A and B are shown apart, each in its own frame.
Chain A
Amino acid sequence: MPNFFPRWTNLLPIQIGIALMMMGSAVTAGLWYYFTPKYTRVGYQPAQPVPFSHKIHVEQHGMDCRYCHNFVEKSGHSNLPSTATCMNCHKHIKKESPKLAPVRESWKTGKPIEWVNIHEVPDYAYFNHSVHVNRGVSCVQCHGRVDGMEVVYQDQPQSMSWCLDCHRAPEKNIRPVDELLNFDWKASDETRDEFYGEIMERNGKTADQLISVIESDQKLRPMENRGELGKEDLIRLSEQVYGKGEMTQEEVGLQLKEAWNVNPPLSCSACHR
């Protein structure tokens, strides 16, 4: 019986197998990347009916987020401003601007402006703004530097795993409540002396307690015969642990988390109910 298949075909099954595996991985990798919110969502920047610029309003005029999104601290929804809110100023400023025509139209007819939704939480997930912004999560962490945006786009994937990253380790993201609207804030802006002083004062913590937080987090053996420890000891310890230089997010977040008892729910029912 003649050799039906040439010799080179001996390797064919293996080659096909490898090729299929590679294709499979490519497809998986492709799906992984292109079908997740990281790709599909981030950067979504639809045209809005009114070319509203956050950059002008926030960066140039220094308006507070809560002037327009006034219920963000009270309600689950961060509301959009009513037409009346726009007209508070625009009755007097840029009265004739063609860009504002839809706003004036809405004001006249009573028909609301239809803004295009960018950050969408699916119906089966529940999200509450108030509990985040009151407990140390700044607007910037989920929405990016909206203060510098001419046209708003989605900055973060806002996927489930992205949410969970923070719920599992809130210390990576929380900041002092006074700095929530300071989008430029960095942990390194804090000084140990002031930061610890404030926690001790506001939350009624002793230096000893704050030291224990660091010790248990770093799994250090508690200092022996420590007696009465003061703020200096605390600062000394933290410099030892986190380095002499600037404060880190890890250090700030950990202390805030412990001081405020921040325990984001991890159960499914937190968002799905």
Chain B
Amino acid sequence: MKRIIHHPKPAEGEKRRWRSLGELEDTPKFREWLGREFPSGASEVEDTESSRRNFMKLMGASTALAGFGVAGCRRPEKYLVPYTKAVEWIIPGKGLYYATAMPGLGGCTLVVATTYEGRPVALKGNALHPTNQIEVDGEAKSSSGTNHFVPAAVLNLYDPDRSREVLAKGQVSTKEALHAGLEAMRTELAAAQGKGLALLVGEGVSPTRDRLLSEISVKFPQAKLFRYEAFNHDNVRAGVRAAFGREDISLVPRLDQATRVLSLDSNFLGLDSVGNAALGFSSGRRADRLVDGEWQQRSTDEMNRLYVVEPAFTVTGSVADHRLRVAGSQVARVAAAVAQQLGVAGVSAEVDERIAAWVKPAVEDLQAAAGKSVVLAGPQQPAEVHALVAAINEKLGAFGKTITVVQSGERAFGSLTELREAVNSGDVTSVISTTPADPVYDAPSNFRWEEVIEKATYVHLGFNRNHTAMLADWHVPGTHFLEEWGDARAADGTYSVIQPMVNPLVGGISEVSLLLKLLQDGPLTDEAAPVSEDVIVAEVKAVPGADYEAVRDTFLNTLAIPGDKETAWNHALRDGFLANSGYAAATVSGSKAQTPELAAAPSGIDALEVRFVPDNRVYDGRYINNGWLQESPDPITKLTWDNAALMSVKTFNDLGLKEDGQRVKMAFNGREGFFPALQAPGHADNCVTLSVGYGQRVCGRVGYGTGFDAFRMRTSVSPYVVSGATLEVLTSDEEINPALPIANHAPKDGVLVVEKWSELALTQEHNSMEGRGLARDGGLEDYRKDPEFAQTIGMDSHIPENQHFYKPQGRSSTGSVPFNELDPNHQWGMTIDLNTCLGCTSCQVACQAENNIPIVGKDQVLRGREMAWIRMDRYFTDPTLVMESDPTNHQHSDTKSRGVEILNEDALEILPQPVACQQCEAAPCEAVCPVNATVHSDDGLNVMAYNRCIGTRYCANNCPYKARRFNFFDYNKRNPIVTKKIPGLGFNNLYAGPLGETHNEGIGNLQKNPNVTVRMRGVMEKCTYCLQRLAAAKIAKKVEARDSDKIKLGKDAVKTACQESCPVDAIQFGNIKNEEDTVNRFKESPRSYELLKYVNTRPRTSYLARIKNPNLKMPGGVEVGTTSKHIH
């Protein structure tokens, strides 16, 4: 008999959690997503441009091709190719791990690269590094977590579109010509004492680069140094300079020491992270601690509390206990109000009632926790705000406690503005640029960098063939950080070595090598020959190059190393860093601050405020060609493959916009641009946020044609916030001249049509689950009163005894299903702590790297076919919004339901929840597979035998968690990015079958994890708990056991890829049969609950409810974190 689960319906007087405004309004479109595993049409082979006839044509063609194949009935001969000389350390089939560093803004990230036979396939953080080690309740912990850019960076190495050839003014040239050009330039400059030479470098501190720059200053005394990246710490540095009058110090927050944090537009848990802020913050974020095996709640003073002032939701804002949404220009005003209340001399500001009511109790709270509180300002805030924040922090006694002052002694660089002036005035005639930025694209548009380039001999070293590369006199292909020798300092100053994992795959030279060429006297020669694409040549000649010598020289001769230097160097190579090489501490006092310039708040929709922010995925545009990042949904908007103009629901409605994706024409500063509008609940009113980095005209195939260029709208006058923008809703498609600067996205076939509506690949409604109380949270006070509150939310308080939908064979149909005992040694389990989870999607990207998960392209995402095994759900809730009646009774009409009208965007909260396969013990999917392709393993996993799967998709239909993904196409083989049409057939590449273009020919395949099957078309797949790692650990243990019976794995022996990458240790994984394993402690937590428990699937993954630590004196404070409580 077919049993239907009646998921409980929301009751009157209840609060709700929703993923999209569509869910809040309960639109038919949302119900469609909810009801089906795949949306309608997703399962039919149907392209808008294809037809049945075309399909027949293609099928005919493939059959004909198949005929040719039959001739080869004989078994093809395959070859085994050993090394000619075995390479040291390499054991074929086993991973080899090397420590290196990934340079970046605010200090490098220390990473460990996993390599197989010389191919780096995955990156994770280096748990040995001091910034990755932390003390939680007296217990030392280390973490290999990072942000999502780190696991994604390895894909850039294998980017088939990365720069390979030397370009001279955009034309392919040769290395010899480049060398001749450089030599001529060098001779000329040497004769003129370097007059006219400018070096343009990127952010980040590299001791070797600094040393070489000093040597260049000796050899070319008149040379000038500049630094530029679109998002930088210039304002931060200027703020510190203004406050203390010193250049040589920088401030590093110690969030593990802070119990009260106020963020002023600082996304310190996300893109603005300095050091390992997320890890430090998460240690204080814990709501409970283990005392003698018992979970004990922390007090409101012990658990940290986060106040966030920001215009648009960020990862940081979503974690906040109290969030104040203000326009970007008003952050300074809030800062001044905070300073005024703290008594910073000479600072005052008028604030409106709403802000005043928020600031007063918040500052009182910060003051009460003086010495344990800290205020952080975002790097895009003006320098005065940073100076003000320094004064505030001094008042709060933060220096030396929650903020470490370090003597960074950074070199002074000129800015891009100064470089432009120097070039225009003729002071600079040659520019050598090694910055990862792309100034032609990302510099303020009034700089007209494309003209500046013309005026000087411009040498551009870059990894990508970007806008600047095409216009520069010389473009030199750069190396990936996994291919070069270098060094960098972390945020705390720890010296870290960047060492190559592989010879440059497609040629290219590093920044250090280029600077060395400039310093060199003799003729320039080609150092590293490119490794052939198809074969990683086994015999990599480890001839130390000049770059290696330079880095080693820096290490041995400029660093203070106690003991034997050679040993220290070897240790640094092994560990990735030199221990105790951080900056010296400094003390500061007597900060000076004044009231910053206070702009008026945007008052209406006729003069909007526009903000430019780095994108969560492509950052400043450098990751545009990284498919993993492009397809990982933005943590807040859940947008993929695009950017959009974000605005509050109120502003959206005020502007008369009807639907997400409607195109608006934005005008300010005499510039115009077209953007799709997107409602971002919780955004400040009358304010628009544009993330930059998209809409590039010169980039690889993955990024080309994605998104809209917001950089073109930016001027140097106000690079981050602009006021007085007008916005007009497009009513018809507009064709514009692609040459015009308003053309802010890439033209197609030379024509640029701005459509009035653009389809946004939003994943927020994809794979929505039935049932309520999926993501749970509560206030700390409630948690202290009723520790087990999370286990009785919704249906969980009254699950009928005999409900049993999918009973495993041989079990009774009543009561809870026990976990099996088939493998008495190993039974796996996972917990995900929503309390620390940021929703940053780092786990998702790491999973993609580990498990060979393909990207599917925007078109397929729109059809709900994204393949990511971990789905990062993001729920909104408005704790002040109480359900009036059953929303399913709504009569659907064009008018919005009452839910949206009365939405209180001030009170919005976000709760992220990563959902992957829950590895149910009584798995609904297993029961319906007609071919036994998905079965239960002895150690409690729900496993897939891909080769057996015939693609009925019954399992996905039956999965209440919607955790299964289907390969509608051979995404790994066919290139989903190519939009090229096959002549005579109106198909895009995926639909062209064997006639289409294959993907990743050559270097792309090198990234694949050799231990995981690459799935083909027609196969279902899902999270496996990193089965390959579990098996490898068990095998290693058995090998060790040999002729003994000690085959049970020890404590926390395996880590899954998501767990390793989590920057806040929210994911725990282990053996529930091993009492010692950490995961068991978390399973015992009173906050632990199972998703859709009433369906009685007995999932192996359980979640820990999020605990908020609200300040009850704050406006709306009593409502914070009360949504779950009101779900019956």
A residues touching B (Cβ–Cβ < 8 Å)?
Answer: 40, 44, 46, 71, 73-77, 79-85, 106-107, 110-117, 120, 123-124, 126, 128, 130-131, 134-136, 176-177, 202-203, 256, 259-261, 263, 265-270, 272-273
Contacts and interface: CB of A to CB of B under 8 A. Distances in A.
Given A177-B1043, A267-B936, 5 more contacts: A76-B93, A112-B84, A126-B1011, A202-B1043, A267-B938
B1013 interface: yes
Contact of A75 (B82, B94, B937, B948): B94
21 contacts: A46-B77, A71-B91, A74-B94, A75-B94, A82-B82, A110-B539, A111-B84, A113-B81, A113-B82, A114-B79, A116-B78, A116-B80, A130-B1039, A203-B1044, A259-B1045, A260-B1043, A267-B935, A267-B937, A268-B948, A269-B943, A270-B1031
A37 to B, nearest CB: 11
A117 B80 CA distance: 6
B1047 interface: yes
B947 interface: yes
B1013 A82 contact: no
Interface string B797-830: 0000000000000000000000000010000000
A135 B1038 contact: yes
Interface in B924-954: 935-939, 941, 943-948
Interface string B570-597: 0000000000000000000000000000
Contacts, number: 146
Contacts of A124: 946-947, 1013
Nearest to B942: A269
B938 A265 contact: yes
Interface in B67-104: 75, 77-86, 91-94
A68 B86 CA distance: 11
Nearest to A178: B1043
Contact of A84 (B85, B1012, B1031, B1042): B85
A184 B1070 CA distance: 43
Contacts of B1042: 134-135, 177
A239 B764 CA distance: 71
A264 to B, nearest CB: 10
A207 to B, nearest CB: 17
A203 B1043 contact: yes
Contacts of A273: 943, 1011-1013, 1024, 1027-1028, 1031
B1035 interface: yes
B1041 interface: yes
B749 to A, nearest CB: 40
Contacts of B368: none
Contacts of B78: 116-117, 120
A260 B943 contact: no
Nearest to B79: A114
Nearest to B538: A112
Contacts of A268: 935, 937, 943, 945, 948
Contacts of A74: 91, 94, 1039
Contact of B1038 (A115, A126, A134, A266): A134
A131 B943 CA distance: 21
A133 B941 CA distance: 27
Contacts of B1043: 135-136, 176-177, 202-203, 256, 259-260
Contacts of A46: 77
B78 to A, nearest CB: 4
Contact of B84 (A44, A84, A115, A259): A84
Nearest to A79: B92
A81 B85 CA distance: 9
A115 B1045 contact: no
A158 to B, nearest CB: 14
Given A112-B82, A126-B1011, A272-B1013, A131 B1038 contact: yes
B72 to A, nearest CB: 15
A107 B83 CA distance: 10
A120 to B, nearest CB: 7
A261 B1047 contact: yes
A111 B539 CA distance: 9
Given A82-B82, A116-B77, A269-B945, A75 B1038 contact: no
Nearest to A261: B1045
Contacts of B946: 124, 272
A153 B387 CA distance: 78
B82 A81 contact: yes
A136 B1039 CA distance: 11
A117 B943 contact: no
B943 A82 contact: no
Interface string B175-207: 000000000000000000000000000000000
B1027 A112 contact: no
A237 to B, nearest CB: 22
Interface string B321-354: 0000000000000000000000000000000000
Contacts of A120: 78
Nearest to A119: B80
